[in-house]
Structure 1
Amino acid sequence: MKKVIALIFGGKSAEHEVSLRSAKNVADALDKDQYTPILIGISKEGSWYRFPDMTVFNNKAIEDKALPAQAESVALIALQGRPVLYSLKDHSKTSLDVAFPIMHGTMGEDGTIQGLFKMVQLPFVGCGVWSSAAGMDKEVMKRLLAEARIPNARYMLLTPFKNNSYEEIAAKLGSPFFIKPANAGSSVGVHKIKSAADFGPKLKDAFQFDNKVLAEEFIQGREIECSVMGHNHAPKASLPGEVIPQHEFYSYEAKYVDDNGALLEIPAKLDSEVTKRLQAMAEQTFHVMGCDGLTRVDFFLKPNGELYINEINTIPGFTKISMYPKMWEATGLSYKDLISNLITLAFEKYEAEQKLKTSYLE
């Protein structure tokens, strides 16, 4: 019997539009002989809707004020200990077997929706609550990596309550340096700071997306990425790929808006020793961060061969120019099989967790 899978996309995030594009690709690649998809879009206002077919992806965004006529208001609930999609229109109930969250950034990649899945006992693709939250918060990520002695860029934490000056940061980190919101993905609010004149307005922009901003040293090097998949105790890294930005750096526009914003070299032109070292560091990062299911690990490779972790992405993009599936394809795993493998991992993780006791008296 086919499993019912909820593909969940959109949400209250600066990456809402990218999420829809990723979700369309996942829906296209899904093995329809094994899975029956249910398309659930979360509006920019946070409302949940079920859509009957792929025409939802003709929209750039889902907004309450401009809903497609076929949108049906729904809620995800637990009924007698089982996850159910409840229709607010006709009160019908649809049982779900597994969820695939394809929600980039806040309210999707940060542990929030993963917590909901746990509450209603719904198996789901990807990292759990705390690893999602830790991976999303770049300051927490850096602390965990530093404790594990995994190299990453030096940084300073900026908040609205501290009066950090350009001069203070440049004296510690050098110039130019980057500023980035701690809890935003895909280069949203990220700026390269070259002068004091740049600093004020661009810091103000970064604070639009989070109340914590990192100032991070600029590392001159190649931008290499690696896909990781598996359970936390046994991750497997793909062949790495290289991003060669055609913009000044790998910005949001270069990633998602401009199809020619970056050249992608997959697999990356690296010697075997560097490839093995990079894959081992990607797997170590996946383990240290408590990840499960999937993660993309991003690196800087300096001319002297030193590797530094830039960041991890616990729900990487699945758009037509996204690196995560492309690196697995180069490793020998088709897009369709990749999606099926990720869903299988979700069921395996859920079954293992179900064996844990939840009552002291039993």
Structure 2
Amino acid sequence: MKKNIAILMGGYSSEHEISIKSGQIVYAHLSKKKYNTYRIVIDKNEWYYLNDAEEKITVDRSNFTIQIDSEIIEFDAAFNTIHGTPGEDGLLQAYFELLNIPQTSCDHYTAAITFNKRDCISILKAYGIPAATNYFINKNDTIHIDEIIDQVGLPCFIKANRSGSSFGVLKAHTKEDILPALNEAFSVDHEVIIESFLSGTEISVGVACLKGKPSVLGITEIVTENDFFDYEAKYLGKSEEITPARLTPEQNKEVEALTLKVYKALNMKGFSRTDFIFNNGKPYFLEINTNPGLSEASILPQQAVKKGISLAELFANEVEECLR
């Protein structure tokens, strides 16, 4: 009997539309012969199943079921493509854990940690993962600009602590840039992380569990036309993504090992995309995405195709790993 798979998309954050695109790609490529697939849109005001006629059917959130005509549809697993809250910060993971429904992303605790840049970096430093020098500040804290500069230097990055797709991420070049950048970052999250600027080659490394084993899909080099890899660079064509990255064999080996070390240290499951920057020949951790973009133009699917894995195979493998 075919399994019923809910493909979760949308979410409550500024990444809602990006997630819809990821979910639509999964829906298009996940085998209809092998699975019964259902597009489930998660909005702030409603959760609903979107059928092929684009009609909405409300999800019963008490048990995560839908009713089509007189039939109650229960789900065997959820394919989580939601970027940001509630699909990447642990809220949906906890919900499905309570209902005992498998979902493709990591568990709620790992999701909460990885979505919080400050907590994630603090944990990984204990495992010897190198990262930029940082400074933590909250919205109501007194701002000591000279203290910030003494600790992280200039230029520096000012980042909303819990956000994706570079929303609330700014680069401060001068002392005068810091306060306006902080105000903008605080409009996205009341917690902010300020990091020293590292110059070098930025790369992104995709991981998937293939036959039960975490495996690096590929390493992509990111060359941006903008000052850094911001929203425009990511989604509006202002960057070039080169797969495989132009690294030496030694650098490839080092960063693959470091990526898998991060994956295992955080008790990850399913897909991940981990970003690093090579500064003076050494890779520094930037962040990890536990629900990376899955559109055909996104980095992880590009890496899979380069590796000879079709999107149909990639997504089916993710479902089978989840069901296992």
User: Which of 223, 242, 264 is residue 265 of structure 1 equivalent to?
Assistant: 242
Matched, 1:9 2:9: yes
Q: Hey, what's the Cα distance between the residues in 2 that align with 1:182 and 1:327? A: 27
Question: 1:115-144 CA distances to partner (integer Å, 9 max, x unpaired)?
Answer: 111111111112111111111000110111
> Could you tell me which amino acid in structure 1 is paired with residue 312 of structure 2?
K
Q: Secondary structure at the match of 1:282?
A: helix
Mapped partners of 1:336, 1:300: distance in 2: 31
Whether the 8 Å CA contact 2:158–2:182 is kept in 1: the answer is yes
CA distance in 2, matches of 1:208, 1:9: 24
Find the aligned partners of 1:164 and 1:238 in 2 and give their Cα distance. 42
Matching of residues 48-59 of structure 1 within 5 Å: 48-53=47-52
Q: Which residue of 343, 346, 355 corresponds with 2:322? A: 346
Letter in 2 for 1:139: R
1:85 to 44, 59, 65: 65
Gaps of 5+ in 2: none
Question: Which of these residues, 79, 83, 87, is aligned with residue 104 of structure 1?
Answer: 83
CA–CA distance in structure 2, aligned partners of residues 300 and 292 of structure 1: 23
TM (normalized to structure 2)?
0.95
Counterpart mapping for 1:71-220 below 5 A: 71-78=56-63, 84-87=64-67, 92-220=71-199
Identity level (%):
32
Gaps of 5+ in 1: 57-69, 79-83, 349-362
Q: Which moved more, 1:211-220 or 1:164-173?
A: 164-173
1:253 maps to what in 2? 232
Work out the CA distance in 2 between the residues paired with 1:347 and 1:72: 25
Alpha-carbon separation, structure 1, partners of 2:105 and 2:209: 9
CA change 1:173–1:102 in 2 (3 A) is same
* Corresponding residue for residue 35 of structure 2: 35
Residues 217 and 300 in structure 2, CA contact (< 8 A), matched pair in contact too: no
Distance 1:271 1:108 in 2: 36
RMSD of aligned alpha carbons: 1.7
Which range is displaced more, 93-102 or 200-209? 200-209
Secondary structure at the residue paired with 1:26?
helix
Question: How far apart are residue 196 of structure 1 and its match?
Answer: 2.8
Does the 8 Å CA contact 2:57/2:66 hold for their aligned counterparts? no
8 Å CA contact 1:106, 1:183 repeated in 2: no
Name the counterpart of 1:319: 295
Which deviates more, 264-273 or 192-201? Answer: 192-201
Matched to 1:286, the amino acid is Y
For 1:37 and 1:172, locate their aligned partners in 2 and report how far apart those are by CA, in whole Å. 51
State the 1:323 CA deviation: 0.4
* Residue aligning to 1:226: 205
Under a length normalisation based on structure 1, what TM-score does the superposition of the two structures give? 0.85
Residues 211, 90 of structure 1: alpha-carbon distance in 2 compared, 3 angstrom cutoff: farther
CA apart distance, 1:199: 1.8
Number of aligned pairs? 323
1:333 aligned onto 2:309: yes
- Contact 1:188–1:252 (Cα < 8 Å) also in 2: yes
What letter is aligned with 1:123? P
Given that 1:239 and 1:275 are in contact with CA atoms closer than 8 Å, whether structure 2 keeps it comes out as no
SS in 2 for 1:274: helix
Report if the CA contact (8 A) 1:235-1:283 is conserved: yes
